Amino acid sequence: MRKQYLLLATLIVAVCHALPLTAIAQESSCGKASSIAEQYQCANHELATAEQDLENAFADAIQRYTPKADDMKENALPPPERDQQAEYERRMRQRLELSQKTWLQYQSAACAAVSDFYEGGTMGPTAAALCKAEIAKQRAKFLRDNFGADR
């Protein structure tokens, strides 16, 4: 258990160094905002957009492994193959849900560390929102690339 915490702490430190606020802000239009309030508003808009995209990508991935009525018809597959397919889909949904839960914990911890970097300043909430947005975009891309409907 201690090794897991050490690994998570190492990962958080790596993310803090790999994703500094200036790099995240430069990729977004929020770096061009003239006030802290505008930057915060922009960051929250980017976060909401990224979270919606992630939600859609995750729903699509889960949907891919959800049996459809046509798949369950007796003439679709013979019973042994149908049972194997159903078990595979159940296992895939379960693993996707577990990976999403674990990923959300990672996102929260990594972006809390980014926010803590700005402790005492006004940029912490903006940095955390931009961090969450960037990591959510990466996760959505990962889900689409590996579990999307076009795969």
Q: Tens place of pLDDT for every residue, the chain, 151 residues?
A: 555 544 444 444 444 444 444 444 445 678 777 888 899 999 999 999 999 999 999 999 999 998 876 655 555 667 788 888 889 999 999 999 999 999 999 999 999 999 999 988 889 999 999 999 999 999 999 999 999 876 5
Spatial contact of 142 and 126, defined as CB atoms under 8 Å apart = no
Fold of domain 2-147: Substrate Binding Domain Of Dnak; Chain:A; Domain 2 (1.20.1270)
pLDDT in tens, 49-85: 999 999 999 999 999 998 876 655 555 667 788 888 8
Q: Which residues of 57-95 are buried (b: 16+ CB within 10 A; e: fewer)?
A: bbebbbeebeeeeeeeeeeeeeeeebeebeeebeebbee
Contact 57, 143 (CB under 8 A): yes
The domain segmentation of the chain, as residue ranges, is 2-147
